[in-house]
Structure 1
Amino acid sequence: MTTSSPARSSGPRPSADRLARLLNLVPYLLARPGIEVAEAAADLGVTERQLREDLELLWVCGLPGYGPGDLIDMAFDGDRVTITYDAGIDRPLRLTPDEALALVVALRMLAETPGMANRDAIERALAKIENAAGDLGGAPVAVRMPGDGDRADTLRGAVERGRALRITYYTATRDETSERVVDPMRMLMVGGRAYLEAWCRRAEAVRLFRADRIDALTELDEPAVAPPQAQPHDLSAGVFQPTPELPLVTVRVGRAGRWITEYYPCEQVRPGDGDEWLVSLRVSDLGWARRFVLGLGPEATVVSPPELVEQVRDVAQSALDAYSVPDTAAGFASDGAPRVVPRPATAAATH
């Protein structure tokens, strides 16, 4: 079952729970035409409001094409609802060879993902689909996830054994490598990457360490003992969660630089002159912001803060100076030294 538009929701709910409820809702209503919404909500263990939101979502679910005769349809008579077209959901599912292979590949990828919980359930589902797919299930398809799976397994073992770790870690925001002792708390998977959440004795705070940025680690004999104030992060909104105390950076970007508004959490996006946008976002470190803006090249102009404007200007000028070379065709200065002529170079513009 596919959807052609997002559902409206009154609040956050686990998507997996809602999907299971939607899949059960159609056969439930098919077996009970004309049932009252209140009765159906009580049977399904949801509020009437949640059920009505689910019915609204069902209205845009169905088969590819999303035209008349493709989407699930229903009729309301006061507070009673009847499914008038089920888009074939009542028929047994029969996968095409391509669909079966896609499921096998997806489940194998999940099974290979470092830190994935409920791996036994994934392997059981994979075995059932491979058995149903017959010869296709044994197709020579190898799936390997990017990243350091062995490192994630080692970290997971340290968490399970409750041991402190000495790690060498690369911090991308500051472009530096440091050594620190941490007390592991748990392993996480966020955005397809494995993270170690631990109490960092150097920072005296809970920190997240990306597994693929841990260059070296040693499991210590001492136990991992996080202090009482060490609380797990709420990562429901992602790893990076902007807060008001972080520096606010504003850049002017052209059409080719608009992609940053989709990739990074932005506080404000305003139209500028012509095709330009003024984009404001929080950053954890101005050093990272400097490298980020310079990487955008001529597509970005720093507007604020002033210290970032100065840093980008200095680095850009240094890059231009590095392109200055002796040009014998330009002749010589009065002291006999060859004239130095700067070659044109591309650098991030600043105010």
Structure 2
Amino acid sequence: MAAPLRAQDKLTFLLALVPFLIDRSRVSVADAARHFSTTPEHIRQAVTVIAMSGVPGSTNAYLHNDLFDIDWDSFEQHDEIVIVHQVAIDDSPRFSSREAAALIAGLQYLSGLPENIDRDSIASLMAKLARGASSTPSAVAIAGGDVDSTLATIRDAVSGSHSLEFDYVNARGESERRVVDPLRVESADRDWYLRAWCHRREAVRTFRLDRMSEVLVSDVPVADHPDVTLPDTLFQNSADDLTVTLDVASSALPLLADYRARIEDAGAEVTRVSVRVAHVHSLKRLVAGLPGVVRVIDPLEARAAVAEWAEAGAALYEGDDQVSG
């Protein structure tokens, strides 16, 4: 039999019991006793104390709405605890259903990463977010992809100090086999990148994981590169980069910080900037991330490439409309 609570522990126990009961909505006395390693009788006594607790109103007197309240029928007839009125806690800000759904989606993504071993804690947090939202969040699911397995393989190579081999499609759409010594794995927004010493280029290069395939960890240990210093920024300019002129909504200018945009003509509504990209096709990603707030001005090949890409995307939607109609 569990030992009775000591007097000095009663307040701590009550402070733990209240959120436990609120978090579960409905819980039996027996389950609560097992959770706190105490007796059912102690739980019943504590519930009676909770029902007499609250926060005094403006008159410094306790009125009905100033006290916790429980479902006495469930408590007395079925030995179940249901708090039907909470004091002060009801007034605390809550996530909206959309906010909770977004956070749950982010946690689902994190739970799929190899380094997050304690997935039970993440699952528990997602459940608490769902219960604590102002209304039921929309059901969301983040599907795992090839990047997850690629990320795990690359991290094995980094921790084991072995070289990597993989097929890589560059920004120009060209595919070639690369052999690299992995140095660091980093993420930017939703994408993962590998910084590595490329044996073909004999220099440090950055590779996007979703452009890698047939990734293999070789038996060859990584070479020593004492003179290699990784820059603080993920992307570096190259002599082969293309300079592109853009008109950007002035309010959205901070979103181009990663591109090191150079202001050509600042305006109240629209700012003309120049950015350097690895290839004209890199603009597709930039434009897709800033819909309606960026316009490609120059060079003409960049305008044509983005226009062709946008028209191809629009044509797919038009096809869907015709089928559904």
- Normalised by the length of structure 1, the TM-score is 0.45
Q: Which has the higher helix share?
A: 2
